[in-house]
Amino acid sequence: MAEKGKAPFLRHRTELRVLYGDTDAGRVVYYANYLRFFEAGRTELIRDLGDSYRSLEERGFIMPVVESHARYKSPAFYDDLLVIETWITEVKKMSCRFEHRIFRKDEDQLLVRGYTVNAIIDSNGRLSRFPDPFYRLLLSATENPAE
């Protein structure tokens, strides 16, 4: 965990327990739910950096996913405790890319890997630039800063 407002880490880890409602008729996690798990990882990474999606919304911005990809390697099941590893690989003035890997806790086997690209839009739904403090915050935790 990072000290509030500090970003000494590049990869953030979030734990999440699979609920029964996350599974399909085959008793495995339904494939689209991994995108929700990616979101949980992004949300907690930003929170640990010292900001939040809620705070961004209060400033009149949202960060929708504009691109996503997931590569499924092995299934997760009801009641599994998962670890979602999330990190930022690219920050531009109007978008950023989050990488994600999901493992079952205490196992090294990769279950899913993927990424999302999130843009920033204003309260009118127009593409915008990240507010400067938020942009710098994201950039500070980026593996390969653009600046």
Residue 5 pLDDT > 70: no
The whole-chain average pLDDT of the chain stands at 91
For domain 11-140, give the CATH number. 3.10.129.10
Amino acid, res. 56? L
pLDDT at 131: 95
**Residue among 24, 51, 79, 106 flagged as catalytic:** 24
CB-based contact 103:109 (threshold 8 Å): yes
pLDDT at 143: 65
Active site residue 24: yes
Is the confidence at residue 120, as pLDDT, over 60?
yes
Per residue in 88-109, pLDDT (tens digit) is 999 999 999 999 999 999 998 9
Q: Mean pLDDT, to the nearest integer, of 109-134?
A: 96
Domain-wise residue ranges, the chain: 11-140
Provide the CB-side half-sphere exposure for 144 (13 A, CA).
6
pLDDT at 9 over 70: no
43-78 pLDDT per residue, tens: 999 999 999 999 999 999 999 999 999 999 999 999
